[in-house]
Amino acid sequence: MYDFPNSSFVSAFKAYDIRGQLGSEITESFAYWVGRAYACWYRGEAGSISRVVVGSDARITSPALKSALAQGLRDEGVDVYDIGLCGTEEIYHATAFVESVSGQAFDGGIMVTASHNPIDYNGLKLVREGSKPISAADGLEQIKQQILDKNFAEVNSATRGAYYRSSFSGEYIRHLMGYVDTNKLKPLRVVVNAGNGAVGPTIDAIEQFLPIEMIKINHEPNGSFPNGIPNPMLLDQQAITADAVKKHNADLGLAWDGDFDRCFFFDEKGEFIDGYYIVGVLAEAFLRKGDNDAKIVHDPRLIWNTQAICEDFNAEAVESICGHSFIKKIMRERDAVYGGEMSAHHYFRDFAYCDSGMIPWLLMIELISERNESLSSIVGERVAAFACSGEINTKVVDADATIATVEGVYKAGANSVERLDGISLDMGSWRFNLRKSNTEPLVRLNVESKNGADEVALHTEKLLTLINA
């Protein structure tokens, strides 16, 4: 029924997931063979695989891809539990915390989603037991090779896996509510922009437990995305949320990508908040709960604000290479309570070290309520102390050569040079990180300063001139 895909599918295997263009890279046949290859790889790793939970986002093509994926898993003898329309974190939650109908934990989970990518894209995110990540370094390459090798046994109908339609929404919502004390929450007015992605039903389910007024826009899941792709990093999408915040005189604005594993914030003025400062705010939210000897993991692009907040609470700030598999690994090793990337991925120890787009805003409304301050005030003091450029991407011919050139110019005057992820140079009152993209001919620049925005602008311009030379 499902022919082997041609070799063009290999480009869909990325560093942390599978993602590509429909038709040329992502097809139902491809999804079927991913299901089979995943089961074969897992069996080789763990000895057996019996139960996998699957779900899909709101894209029109996602249900059919999920059906083919399920067929592949079942043909390898795996029982499939389909939770339907959901967010990626619901797959994480089910895999890590929920028992199947047989009373046993799930062996893994697969989400069909292309998140914020264009409408003609789709993909898959895969995890193993306990929602541990599967990345290029931990399984994806082997799964790809298995399909290329066409190394599969004949299907045995007698051992074919079962299929169950399931729902773990109640358990998931109860888990989310464990992160906040609703008695502390003020009756805030909050704009929630679902972007016609998958998050709308989850917002509806959680609303009853919160003393806040929700102004819902683009709320219904709609895979044709009539109001644009749910990608809050796009300026036109940011404008939709910002305008609604101002129109409704809201205290806060929230927007999500298609599978809602990332949450984006707007203050009461409708201003979009850079993800770097959100990392610091969420670190504070956890540290205020009094976790002794807490550890906070952050990426190396922009660091001073997060480190300063950790110092204020006598906590330890831990740097990690960018990327969810690296962040999750070091969080597990150090038992960190929270980890954050400026890309709006936020990870939580009590959520199996996985990223969530729901926990961040719950913590945020609790912090705003506790401090009795606006988000603009909370963030504004941090921006004043540690101004930043935001991430600036530049196309280059040779990323490694560009980074070497920049380091050669600046290293003599640097207090320190670090190479954890690209290069990070501490220049005294300011610092910068320059790293290359894993997937594109780009370098990514971030600059921050203790002396305000003018110093950031000055050095950013000099660095970009050198990069573009």
Which region, left, alpha or beta, applies to residue 383 given φ > 0 means left and ψ of -120 to 50 means alpha? alpha
Amino acid at 436: K
Residue with tokens 């996985």: 354
Judge residue 156's burial from the number of C-beta atoms within 10 Å of its C-beta, 0-12 exposed, 13-18 middle, 19 or more buried.
exposed
Task: Kindly state the tokens that stand for 359.
Answer: 């926990």
How many whole angstroms separate alpha carbon 361 and alpha carbon 252?
10
CA distances 369 to 95, 151, 363, 372, Å, are: 33, 57, 10, 5
Find the catalytic residue in 56, 62, 100, 115.
Answer: 115
Judge residue 313's burial from the number of C-beta atoms within 10 Å of its C-beta, 0-12 exposed, 13-18 middle, 19 or more buried.
middle
How many whole angstroms separate alpha carbon 362 and alpha carbon 112?
26
How many whole angstroms separate alpha carbon 43 and alpha carbon 6?
25
CA distances 349 to 16, 183, 184, 379, 447, Å, are: 20, 23, 23, 24, 29
CB 50 within 8 A of CB 78: yes
Residue 404 β-bridge partners: none
CB 197 within 8 A of CB 264: no
DSSP reduced 3-state for 70: helix
102 is an active site residue: no
- What's the sign of the alpha-carbon dihedral 26, 2, 154, 71? positive
Following DSSP, what letter does each residue of 245-270 receive, concatenated? Answer: HHHTT-SEEEEE-TT-S-EEEE-TT-
CB 296 within 8 A of CB 306: yes
> CB neighbours of 148 closer than 8 A, spacing ≥ 6?
7, 10
CB 348 within 8 A of CB 335: no
CB 59 within 8 A of CB 87: no
DSSP state of 297: E
How many whole angstroms separate alpha carbon 45 and alpha carbon 42?
5
Residue 143 β-bridge partners: none
Residues annotated as part of the active site: 115
